[in-house]
Structure 1
């Protein structure tokens, strides 16, 4: 099921996916009440999610991973393989499982609990649209065991500027936000982020953010 409400500048365009109609309705109400978010499509399974993304080209996808038929994880894996993929975050319950661990590995940009405070949920969607990473602090500790082994236990060997950028990533900031705060060009911040991924052995900025949080850099 999907609904198109038009294109153009303005609110962040979102596609929601969950196999519970009441959850979909609640999330939609919360997001659209802010005026900052427009839900352009909803889906009850992974196949419908992919169809909605193709049809409406959202800025952000929020998806449950366990859905009937084509599950959310499969759909997210397909989306993340595309060069023009929208930002994507997993909606989950507190009991994380192997599905969520796999979502971390395929590079989703956020992990949110379904009972996230409305204001925090809207803020997370806006951060995702801006290129940031979002991690509910209640699930960060449970995601850490799923990170790659062998990473450095502390940020040794990083320059001062790399540490400053790392703190921005840990806070979930976008490259543009980090650049504005540090007085750098966004392209320069992008180079620092790439260097950090290599030095820390991480695949994406969510993994970097998790690692930085484990060091207490936030």
Structure 2
């Protein structure tokens, strides 16, 4: 769905706790840059809400009854027109996060994030960025396939390192390009090359690695 320049980012929110959904909705909608257009309390309802509202961003708690958040994310992320999605979790990460990382979600957010940080994360997701709460990077790194290298590959060019820092910061391609004076299509090519060199499946994994290296 194409949004107007000043249109609010439309979100579908999935969590099986009504009070949590109400609180998150209040936080997200305070500044009017985000609007929650649909809510779900299980995975099946989530997919139905996405089909109904065609949101810009989907926020999902993976531990839900019914079809479950993880199964819904697996179905959702396999769609070519899938909206960006992020897992909402607690600091005590569960085993489902490993699968969510493999599936290709675009973000991992903690439920106790500061309100401004949560809103900013949703806006970044809508713009095509990858969002990672810095507090969970160290917990997620060991969940990558294989053992993450201790330092970046030496064959990375200076430009690739600059782009990788942008990924670590959660910047979308357009923002990286604007900062480096590159066209978004050129940034996309750099990102594709980085994924190959890093052995990462997606930009979230690349961002995790870069954050782990302190980039």
Same fold flag (TM > 0.5): yes
Q: Alignment length, in residue pairs?
A: 211
Q: Alpha-carbon deviations, 1:23-82, whole Å to 9, x = none?
A: 001111111111100111000000000000001000000010010010001101100000
Indicate which of 192, 199, 203 corresponds to 2:201: 203
* 2:124 pairs with 1:114: no
What is residue 16 of structure 2 aligned with on the other side? Answer: 19
Q: What is the SS of the residue equivalent to 1:202?
A: coil
1:59 aligned to which of 53, 56, 68: 56
Q: Deviations over 1:111-132 (max 9, x none)?
A: 1111111100000000000000
Whether 1:83 aligns to 2:118 is: no
| Unaligned residue ranges in structure 2 (runs of 5+) | none
Task: Please give the alpha-carbon distance, in whole angstroms, between the structure 2 residues aligned to 1:19 and 1:184.
Answer: 43
Q: CA deviation at 1:195?
A: 0.2
Asked if 2 retains the 8 angstrom alpha-carbon contact of 1:87 and 1:131, the reply is: yes
- TM-score, structure 2 length as denominator? 0.96
1:70 maps to 2:86: no
Hey, what's the Cα distance between the residues in 2 that align with 1:84 and 1:99? 24
Give the superposition deviation at 1:215. Answer: 0.9
Q: Residues 44 and 67 of structure 1 are in contact (CA less than 8 Å); yes or no, is this contact kept in structure 2? A: yes
8 A contact 2:141–2:148 mirrored in 1: no
RMSD: 1.1
Tell me by how many angstroms 1:152 deviates: 3.7
Q: Distance in 1 between matches of 2:42 and 2:176?
A: 36
What is the alpha-carbon distance in structure 1 between the residues aligned to residue 77 and residue 3 of structure 2? 23
- Whole-angstrom distance in 1 between the partners of 2:40 and 2:119: 19
